[in-house]
Amino acid sequence: MSSRLSFEFHSSNQQALLLTSLEKLSATSVLQINDIKQQLIELTNDKFPLSIQKRRTGIYDQYFWRFKSNNSTDSRRFVRLYHEDLEDYLETCGHDFTLQLKRIEEKLIKLNANLRLIATLTAIVIEYNEQTSKLFALQTAIDYGIAP
């Protein structure tokens, strides 16, 4: 038995189904992010100085914490909860509140991993389609005697 993972499609329907499934997973992940944002608002009455913001990273989006700020003295970088910019602030929060934030952070990390995987798989399928189309075109040209 081979230990290789086969990335072979037997029909274009399989490819379309896979891409559709990946799009649905991505949309579901974004809905979950929105639910987390709403949960944070409900937890803090929207008086929390951090918000969850999207940042484009290569071919996919990731979600991070970011200070809400109108002045330039606060850090506006995208950070994780364990980042040094947040240490002082989190020390002022209660233990239970900090635990709830850590649970939210864990969900964000998982969803970010899912979004990265979805984007990578989508890119692989698209690249596969492009390369096999070029190969098919080359074979067709050879069959009709019009090879490049």
Predicted local confidence at residue 80, as pLDDT: 85
Residue 15 is encoded by which pair of tokens? 């490819």
Predicted local confidence at residue 9, as pLDDT: 60
Looking at residue 10, the DSSP 8-state letter turns out to be S
Predicted local confidence at residue 92, as pLDDT: 86
Predicted local confidence at residue 71, as pLDDT: 57
Predicted local confidence at residue 10, as pLDDT: 58
Measured CA to CA, the distance from residue 112 to residue 32 in angstroms comes to 11
Residue 111 is encoded by which pair of tokens? 């969803």
Predicted local confidence at residue 21, as pLDDT: 93
Distance of CA 52 to the CA centre of its chain: 14
Domain boundaries, the chain: 29-121
Mean pLDDT by 10 residues, the chain (148 residues): 54 84 95 95 85 89 83 67 81 89 94 95 90 86 80
**Distances in whole angstroms, Cα of residue 76 to Cα of each of 49, 64, 89, 95, 128:** 11, 11, 14, 25, 39
Predicted local confidence at residue 81, as pLDDT: 85
Contacts of 47-50 with C-beta under 8 Å, sequence gap 24+, read 49/74, 49/89, 50/86, 50/89
Residues 6+ apart with CB under 8 A from 10: none
Distance of CA 110 to the CA centre of its chain: 9
Structural contact between residues 101 and 92, judged by C-beta atoms closer than 8 angstroms: no
